[in-house]
Amino acid sequence: MNVTIDREFLIGTLQKLVRINSVNPGLVPGSPGESTIGEYIADVLRAIGLNPQIHAIAPGRVNVAATLKGSGGGRSLMLNGHMDTVGVEGMEEPFSGKIRHGRVYGRGAQDMKGSIAGMMAACKALIDADIRLKGDLVFAAVADEEYRSKGTETLIESVKTDAAIVAEPTGLDVCLAHRGFALFELETRGRAAHGSRYQNGIDANIHMGRILAELDKLTQRLLKKPEHPLLGPPSLHVPVVKGGSELFIYSDRCTISVERRTLPGEVFEEIEKEMASILAKLSSKDQNFQATVKPVLHRNAYEISPDAEIVKLVSTTAEEVLGRAPDRIGHDWWEDSALLAESGIETVIFGPKGEGIHSHEEWVEIQSVVDLAEILTRAAIQFCG
């Protein structure tokens, strides 16, 4: 069956995607989100013969979905990628889309506009070759993966498929697992007073220091736990500390954000107890110690069996295209694949090569995106029938 990837279409689409600012406003207030890039994707999908739907999930925030309808009797497959990016501070040319040394540069090139371009090129290849699949092939470009994943949360309320390929960048290896996370806000309360009035003041910042010392101990214990073969040990860090108002005043309030990275099998309720037990321990030693912990957001870690059918199919198809068997890897960060799997969709992670995720210089390798498109095309034909 002769299916050809339109390389010129793919590269041009990728460059245009990178040139559209789709920074997530949840991360950088005032940023545009996905509405403009979503409209562009929908226009391209219409041009290649699909009937896309734009679904608003919040003002300026959209999902774009389109279905290549099957003839019936086959299984359905979703190709999933996110349109939003992190911020661009420190980048010289964040939206250039320039090509250098076989790479496209710019924010989101690797994470994950290259993947979306590959997904679109795969759909075009099937339509151009007039291939009628038995099962449905669903294209899903989603919002907000970089923050709260409202896009995929909304998507799975109405879209169900038998399997999914989340095209996060993997270097053309097959990703079988990723970490989860739990975010907490901890607060200590003190008593404001003149900096000289030690009799009256209670220093919330010093009390928070006690918590930080206990969190450091917890971090060391976590790093000594048995490692996951693909993900390593669980971990913890404190990305934000805020305390005090000005000099010469005892701080009456101090807050920190705590980020706990989790492994498959770890339960949120047990992680929450880790935080609560630290506060209980410190409170028992000092009647003036007042502190609270508030859960902010948590997402479960994810793992799929190497023997799952979609894993074997993508692995075999990748080997056919690449001439090598892909490695099996894990990702340290969280991805929407966990939500898809929790909704009952067997999900594997597979995407292109690149560098610079969330850094000052980001790029994706063009040939790897072309290879991705061909692998997705072949996988759809074999899985959907």
DSSP sequence for 139-195: EEEES-TTTT-HHHHHHTTT---SEEEE----TTSEEEEE-EEEEEEEEEE-B--BT
Domain positions in the chain are 7-178+301-384, 180-299
Please tell me the distance from the alpha carbon of residue 185 to that of residue 148, in angstroms, as a whole number: 16
Task: Take residue 10 and report the two structure tokens written for it.
Answer: 């793919």
Q: Please spell the DSSP secondary structure of 88-119, one letter per residue.
A: -TT-SSTT---EETTEEESTTIIIIIHHHHHH
State the pLDDT confidence band at 2, using cuts at 50, 70 and 90: confident
Token readout for 271 is 């992680």
Residue 288 contacts residue 299 (beta carbons within 8 Å): no
In CATH terms, the fold of domain 7-178+301-384 is Aminopeptidase (3.40.630)
Helical packing angle, 114-128 and 35-47, nearest 10° = 20
Query: Which pLDDT band holds residue 85 (cuts at 50, 70, 90)?
Result: very high
Q: Which residues contact 284 (CB under 8 A, 6 or more apart)?
A: none
User: Per residue in 24-83, pLDDT tens?
Assistant: 999 999 999 999 999 999 999 999 999 999 999 999 999 999 999 999 999 999 999 999
- Average pLDDT (250-260) is 97
The predicted-structure confidence for 7-28, as pLDDT tens digits, reads as follows 999 999 999 999 999 999 999 9
Contact 258, 236 (CB under 8 A): yes
Task: Specify the pLDDT at position 150.
Answer: 96
pLDDT, tens only, 329-352: 999 999 999 999 999 999 999 999
The bridge status of strand 137-142 relative to strand 180-189 is unpaired
Which top CATH class is 180-299?
alpha beta
Round the average pLDDT of the chain to a whole number and report it: 97
Query: How much is the average pLDDT of 296-321?
Result: 97
User: pLDDT band at 275, cuts 50/70/90?
Assistant: very high
pLDDT at 1 over 70: no
| Residue owning tokens 């279905």 | 67
Contacts of 130 (CB under 8 A, 6+ apart): none
Q: What is the CA radius of gyration of the chain?
A: 24
Predicted confidence (pLDDT) at residue 272 exceeds the cutoff of 70? yes
Spell out a b/e string for 89-115, using b for 16 or more CB atoms within 10 Å of the CB, else e: eebeebbbbeeeeebbbbbbbbbbbbb
Kind plus residue range of the DSSP H or E element containing 237: strand 235-243
Instruction: Identify the CA nearest to 276 among candidates 214, 216, 222, 217.
Output: 214
Average pLDDT over residues 113-140: 97
Res. 3 pLDDT band, cuts 50 70 90: confident
Tell me which DSSP letter residue 64 carries. Answer: E
How far is it, in rounded angstroms, from Cα 263 to Cα 68? 36
